[in-house]
A and B are shown apart, each in its own frame.
Chain A
Amino acid sequence: MLSIIRERLRQGHRTGKYPKVEPVLPERFRGLPTIDHQHCQPNCTQCIEGCPFGALQKVAGKLELDMGLCLFCPECSAICEHGALSFSRDYHLSSRTRAGLIVDETEFKMVEALDAKMKKLFGRSLKLRQVSAGGCNACEADLNVLGTLNFDLARFGIQFVASPRHADGIIVTGPVTENMKSALLDAYAAVPEPKLVIASGACAIGGGPFKDSPEASNGIGDILPVDLYIPGCPPHPYTALDAMLRLMGQL
């Protein structure tokens, strides 16, 4: 008993001050992409060809990056000789709509809160059933980490629950493998109305690295009505936390 108390004192108080104090992310962290349209050359398509998942394209001559398909790898920013494409350390990446994940000339809009009626229901308490449908355990691990003492998810009123019957929504990871499709739909059906659907990670949004696999869907977009998209491969825990808190109208 004494040794436990002694160790407890040594380990100290570790719960972070978020959201009052902004977290410091590693220098090499790749967050919100920034496109410098002045330096982006009109006829250059190197970065577009360099992305094997088609996250980059030019629309009316302007470069756009779709964070729903992006794995936040370092390749495209290294390919760009003009220094027009880079990743900032901004971890606010999520959106309520699929189109909202596209980074272009307009300013990126952060997650909007639920409407008044839904906010009244879920704004202070949100119980989620997590379903991994082909997730590689990185998304799952970084959702799990929200329950550890640095993040202490429960202090925001969010909890991952064991049964879909106890849940207000599901948070899905993975591209939805053929073998998990029916279990995912069963879990969704078991959640009482009204309910939320959150797609967490590149796989759940657009298939991620397994896009167009014959054994998996390209995410949950075609299968379920999605209320919140959290990009990343996997999303940083703060990206996911920020998205959920904004959805609940807590930030």
Chain B
Amino acid sequence: MNRSKLIRFQHGACIPLAELPRLDFATFRESLLEEVANHARVASFFGHPSDDGLELYAILAHDWQGDLALLHTRVADTYPSLTPDCAQLHLFERELAEQYGVRPEGHPWLKPVRFHNPWVDTDDIWGRNAKQHPIPGDMDFYRVEGEEVHEVAVGPIHAGVIEPGHFRFQCHGEQVMHLEISLGFQHRGIEQMLIGGPHPTSIYQLEAAAGDTTIGHTTAYSQVLESLAGHDTMPRAYAIRSIALELERLANHVGGIGGLTTDVGFLPTASFCGRLRGDYLNLSAELCGSRFGRGLIRPGGVQFDLDNALVDKVKQRLAVLEPETRGAIELCFDNPSVLARFEGIGVVSTDDAEELGLVGVAAKACGLVRDARLHHPFGSGETKFDTPVIEIDGDVCARGNVRRREIYASHELLRDTLTQLPAGGIYSPLESLAPDSLAVSLCEGWRGELIHTAITDSNGRISRYKIVDPSFHNWSALALSLRGEQISDFPVCNKSFDLSYCGFDL
């Protein structure tokens, strides 16, 4: 294949659309599959309607080389599906079909993803009435039939205080043969609302794209706009973003381990972690007034600075919290009755993880080193990160262990960043965005890699904004991990992935 047709770039670059060669579909397909065979993974895959059809963009990540590759083609109403040759694309292709009515011929599992009307004036490929809003969950579920086979349907409203989603289990007795997950209940139309932006409302929508990942998503959004505007963000702003990102990771990981132990009925760790999680959230509130980091990050920098007194306060609190957190967590990883419920449960093999393109905690638990902090650091002032955590067993215990060890690594990272906080300003307003350009930004949120891509029109306004939350890749892994398990292990498997519903549904 002609390698010169492939655009390779570092994250943070702003690429003029005119420099992007449009490949014919056959070359696009061949190049994409060849790249994936050469250890690239599909980070993002999306469409952008034009007068002549649907422009398709694939963003592939070469993690160890620290760069990204971009492929571009155009399709009409149908195209031969890539999913049979590249399973990572299965949801991306379904998403495109739902959004733009383009049919991937030969897709093995072509079902709606989020249950909304097409974004463009076209026929719905499932023949749903364009004048009515689709009914969520209205699709053909995979069914197993036979004597003593039964189906368990859960949701959209679940028993706890959590977001909605629908799960269908095909069971034989206690054993789950198949789990199908149907989401979309949380779909608020964020990507559509961002078109024509950046609007004054945009940053607030990004803050709530996945409310537990406010810092992650706002950082990724700010980086995209800063790339498009050619903005030099100040080192101190980077450092403060990095502090907030690690605090967010700590709060969620500590809460997550608490949740895992709740699901197996080990209450000491569950109750200690519940309290500790709140203490980490309170540290974010010390930084910016909001326990979830609302109002902190803006394109151009951050809105709140840390003075020496606050740095000391945060350091002192962390010094108290660290041993308490270790004590609470080690207790459960040292307890045979807990480990009996964690070990060997919900296994995802490394091969499956690679094939599905998993990211974040779920990938690291399968022995895959995928961490945007390591592979795709942004800017120059960012804290040096060189200790990605991996486990190899791919089970509930491995995912718990990744989170446990990431907690300890985050403490270390925070200590370093707080000690070596660069001096200088924290915010400068953005210039206008480059017209007819594309930029990509990656940020390692606590669940995994967040990828935001923006394309601007001739006026420098956003004409397509694509968000890929780690949950988008990883929900399939939860379904896979349940095969052959007991249905009573579903809560602990689900918690071990700890995925976002609204991050998937956006």
Contacts and interface: CB of A to CB of B under 8 A. Distances in A.
Nearest to A25: B285
Given A26-B289, A29-B285, A180 B334 contact: no
A73 B202 CA distance: 13
A42 to B, nearest CB: 24
A156 interface: no
B142 interface: no
Interface stretch (A106-114, A147-155, A222-230): A147-155
Contact of A3 (B156, B189, B334): B334
Given A29-B289, A215-B187, A216-B188, A145 B278 contact: yes
B47 interface: no
A10 B327 contact: yes
A178 interface: yes
A191 B271 CA distance: 30
Given A135-B186, A234-B292, A236-B291, 6 more contacts: A28-B304, A75-B295, A141-B292, A183-B157, A210-B205, A233-B208
Given A136-B211, A148-B274, A7 B133 contact: no
A216 B163 contact: no
B186 A179 contact: yes
Contact of B211 (A131, A160, A234): A234
Contacts of B185: 134, 177, 179-180, 183
B178 to A, nearest CB: 24
Contact of B287 (A28, A211, A234): A28
B423 interface: no
A140 B116 contact: no
6 contacts: A10-B324, A132-B163, A136-B211, A147-B274, A148-B274, A234-B292
A17 interface: no
Interface in A121-161: 130-145, 147-150, 160
B272 interface: yes
Given A4-B331, A28-B288, A148-B275, A71 B159 contact: no
Contact of B157 (A71, A140, A187, A208): A187
B417 interface: no
A136 B199 contact: no
Contacts of A160: 160-161
A44 interface: no
Contacts of B188: 134, 175, 177, 210, 213, 215-216
A125 B341 CA distance: 35
Nearest to A4: B268
A177 B161 CA distance: 17
Given A138-B208, A214-B192, A130 B161 contact: yes
B375 interface: no
Give me the 9 closest cross-chain CB pairs, A-B, nearest first.
A138-B211, A136-B211, A148-B274, A28-B289, A215-B189, A52-B200, A162-B159, A209-B204, A179-B136
Interface string B151-170: 00000110111111000000
A93 to B, nearest CB: 14
Contacts of B290: 30, 72
A38 interface: no
A27 interface: yes
A87 B502 CA distance: 29
Contacts of B159: 162-163
Contacts of A132: 161-164, 186
A90 to B, nearest CB: 13
Contacts of A10: 324, 327
A11 interface: yes
A133 B162 CA distance: 10
Nearest to A30: B289
A173 B281 CA distance: 20
Given A74-B295, A142-B291, A183-B164, A11 B208 contact: no
B192 A137 contact: no
B274 A145 contact: yes
Contacts of A26: 282, 285-286, 289
Nearest to A12: B324
Nearest to B252: A141
Q: Which of A148, A149, A233 has the most C-beta atoms of chain B within 10 angstroms of its own C-beta?
A: A148
Interface string A172-200: 00110111100100010000000000000
Given A3-B334, A52-B201, A233-B294, A148 B271 contact: yes
B204 A73 contact: yes
A28 B285 contact: yes
A208 to B, nearest CB: 7
A3 B207 contact: no
A16 to B, nearest CB: 10
A211 B201 CA distance: 9
